[in-house]
Amino acid sequence: MRQPVRFVAIGEIVAPHGLRGEVRVLPLTDFPERFETTGRVLLGPPGGEPAGAPVAVERARRQGRLVLLKLAGVDSVEAAESLRGRLLFVPRQEVVPLPEGRFYVFDLVGLLVVTEDGAPLGKLVAVLDNPANDLFVVRPPGGGRDILLPALKSVVREIDLAGGRMVVSPLPGMLEASEASRE
């Protein structure tokens, strides 16, 4: 059974800003305006989970594609510099809600992917950003070459997060081409 996501990274501290402890944050969210209303964040390493108590956000403002953030207790350029490379997290329940039928990638990765007739194709391991449409990367249970499925309503028939599965109707020839490439 896949583990539910407990924390979500919303930004990465990339540099100090000024002399009074502000930091420059690269947003890792589609909603960078959320920093202006987020009251607290958790700090953690890249690829890890946050550790320690939440830190209050004293103020935030956008500057181009970055966000300038003042965190409580970070009052010098040296303290801000020590946070370089750290990620800012929020609990899963604090992410910005999406419209019906939209999903966060972190909720999709790990789903079991099955065809409409129940045949297992594998686990969803990644979502690739593609100009035409996203591509779902499915790893077959026995190994071999990954299956790429276009993220189209005509292919993805159902996403059941609670049940941990995605039901798909692959395009004609898609699975055969994948099978042939494994031989």
Give pLDDT tens digits for 131-182: 889 999 999 988 788 999 999 999 999 999 889 999 999 877 766 655 544 4
Q: Tell me which amino acid residue 139 is.
A: R
Looking at the fold, whether 117 and 80 belong to one and the same domain comes out as: no
Q: Which domain holds residue 170?
A: 105-182
pLDDT at 79: 96
Q: What is the pLDDT of residue 117?
A: 92
Q: What pLDDT, on a 0 to 100 scale, did the predictor assign at position 130? A: 84
Residues 115 and 48 in one domain: no
In a domain, 1, yes or no: no
pLDDT score of 9: 92
Query: Are residues 155 and 113 part of one domain?
Result: yes
Residues 88 and 120 in one domain: no
Q: What is the DSSP string of 127-158?
A: EE--SSS-EEEEE-TT-SSPEEEE--TTTEEE
Q: What CATH number does the domain containing 146 carry?
A: 2.30.30.240
pLDDT of residue 176: 61
Question: Rounded CA gap, 28 and 10, in Å?
Answer: 5
Does any domain span residue 100?
A: no
Residues of the chain with pLDDT under 70: 1-3, 174-183
Q: Which residue spans within the chain are E strands per DSSP?
A: 7-17, 22-27, 40-44, 55-63, 66-71, 87-91, 112-115, 120-128, 135-139, 147-150, 156-160, 165-168
Residues 6+ apart with CB under 8 A from 9: 28, 44, 87, 88, 89
Of 69, 94, 119, the one marking the end of a domain is 94
Q: Which of 60, 94, 128 is the last residue of a domain?
A: 94
**Same domain (yes/no): 82, 110:** no
Residue 66, token pair as written in the block = 């970055």
Question: How many separate domains does the chain show?
Answer: 2
